[in-house]
Amino acid sequence: MTGRDLADRANLVAVDHAEWSSIPRYDLRAFNDEGKGAALDHTAFRKDWLYRTLQRSNGLWLTNLLSDYTGGAIAEGETVFCHDVAVNDLAEGHVCIFRIDGAIYVARYSVRSSPGMTVADRIDEEIVTAGELGTGEGEFMPVARIVGRLIGRI
């Protein structure tokens, strides 16, 4: 169940006419300054379903989170849909994967600074502010925006 009404589900085309997209899955531990590394595998998804569900059907990739993101109730090991993001693409409230000093960090992006909060406080709150972005030591570099979570079969 998606919580959407029947009219939304009717936008799917018949399976024999559907276009498919091969979505790569990457290991976050392989990320570095040069990129994501080699794809571990690929999974086929219907393009119409991707667009209807995630509002895009291209540029997507999958990864498993290395730690919990409590703000979005995403647990370590869960598979998420992502797309590459640049600093100029970030908007208030986006949940993103950032790199800082070689480590991977998942947080909500905020354009507003948090007066009185230290960087450690914001890390505890899982927030990265615009003033903390950059490519230098101790600065957060956006890697990807998380746009959805893959729910598996039960």
What are the tens digits of pLDDT across the range 35-69? 889 999 999 999 988 998 899 889 999 999 988 78
Count how many domains the chain has. 1
CATH number for the domain spanning 61: value is 2.10.109
Answer whether residue 127 is part of any domain. yes
- Residue 1 domain flag: no
Domain range enclosing 96: 6-149
* Ordered strands of the 41-46 beta sheet: 41-46, 20-26, 60-64, 79-84, 141-149, 95-100, 103-110, 127-129
Q: What is the pLDDT of residues 92-129, one digit of tens each?
A: 999 999 998 888 889 999 887 666 666 555 556 788 88
Sequence-distant (6+) residues with CB within 8 A of 71 are: 95, 107, 108, 126
d(CA 82, CA 95): 10
